Amino acid sequence: RAGLTTTGGLILIINGYSNIINAFYMVSERLPMIRSERPVFLRMEEALENREKEIETETLQHFDRSLRFEDVSFAYGENRVLRHATFTMKRGGKYLLVGPSGGGKSPVLRLIRKYFNPDEGAVLIDVQTLGAITRESYYEHLANVEQHVFLFDDTLRNNLTLFKDYNEDDIMRAVEGAGLSSLLASLPGGLDYTILDNGKNLSGGEKARIAIARGLIARADLLLLDEAFASLDEEVARGIERTLLSLEGVTLVSVSHVVFPDTAPLYDAVFEVKRGRVAPASGS
């Protein structure tokens, strides 16, 4: 119904507001010679106004061919983080974004997630402009794995499925693919184990694997990973990455500073994002 969104969409929105707040901190840290709080709040207002630049009137018709950045520029206040970026990701392809911290990798994902709209240029899904597509219809096709995972005070099952109905085989395949089998076997109650206080009774790596399992269960058309392997043991991370790269028909976009030499060649393309520019990495 109009005005409602899915639980997965709600998590994206929650994470989006968290990222907006983080962006405000980024702006405040990089503005030279701030003498009062007023300049910071002016830039906060600019960021919120950016979200309203385009009116969402269209549903996503299809995602058959590509996700494309067409001459996209974007800034947090005065800090320009993307400069005339043009690149294409084909439907079903696997893409890795690398580059120095602050080079523009995370803003690329934030634009794909619809947390912001470009200041110039457009992000296109096939022939549709992403900014005009409603979040509700878009998020039905999107799964998101972030470094900071939001968990409900509820059962492990509901945190994996986000309160949707999946059969047991689908859940167990996702548990295995995300490297959660050992944890599940050790928990009293198994899938009915209660997670407390946003995962206070779990380790960072376990929370990260839950987020990855969500993406596997959803079988979304577009899977976004933001430093998804940062909290994981290297051997576990390699296995999970191979599982994700083997997903047929899923377009995967991963931002990571953890790059394994044996899995990097499995990506269809590796893009280097540096000083706001996006280009194929050397040897890609």
Task: Please tell me the distance from the alpha carbon of residue 67 to that of residue 89, in angstroms, as a whole number.
Answer: 5
What tens digit of pLDDT does each residue of 42-70 get? 555 555 555 556 688 899 988 999 999 99
CB 261 within 8 A of CB 115: no
Task: Please tell me the distance from the alpha carbon of residue 123 to that of residue 129, in angstroms, as a whole number.
Answer: 6
Q: What does the pLDDT read at residue 14?
A: 54
> Rounded mean pLDDT of the chain?
84
Backbone angles phi, psi at 87, to 5 degrees: -165, 160
Task: Please tell me the distance from the alpha carbon of residue 117 to that of residue 101, in angstroms, as a whole number.
Answer: 22
Q: Is the confidence at residue 123, as pLDDT, over 60?
A: yes
Mean pLDDT of 71-100: 95
- For 1-5, 144-148, 234-238, 241-245, which range has the lowest pLDDT when averaged over its residues? 1-5
Q: Is the confidence at residue 254, as pLDDT, over 60?
A: yes
Q: What does the pLDDT read at residue 6?
A: 56
Q: Is the confidence at residue 206, as pLDDT, over 50?
A: yes
DSSP code of 126? T
CA 156 to centroid of chain Cα atoms? 21
Q: Is the confidence at residue 16, as pLDDT, over 80?
A: no
Greater pLDDT, 82 or 236: 82
Return the closest-CA partner of residue 138 out of 264, 231, 16. Answer: 16
Task: Please tell me the distance from the alpha carbon of residue 77 to that of residue 254, in angstroms, as a whole number.
Answer: 26
CA distance readout (Å), 54 to 9, 11, 130, 262, 279: 19, 22, 9, 42, 27
Q: What are the structure tokens assigned to 277, written together?
A: 């520019």
Spell out the domain ranges in the chain: 7-280
- For 18-27, 141-150, 196-205, 258-267, which range has the lowest pLDDT when averaged over its residues? 18-27
What tens digit of pLDDT does each residue of 107-116 get? 999 999 999 9
Task: Please tell me the distance from the alpha carbon of residue 86 to that of residue 104, in angstroms, as a whole number.
Answer: 13
Name the CATH superfamily, with its identifier, for domain 7-280.
Answer: P-loop containing nucleotide triphosphate hydrolases (3.40.50.300)
| Amino acid occupying residue 70 | E
Q: What does the pLDDT read at residue 149?
A: 85
Mean pLDDT of 71-76: 95
- For 15-29, 79-93, 238-252, 260-274, which range has the lowest pLDDT when averaged over its residues? 15-29
DSSP code of 226? E
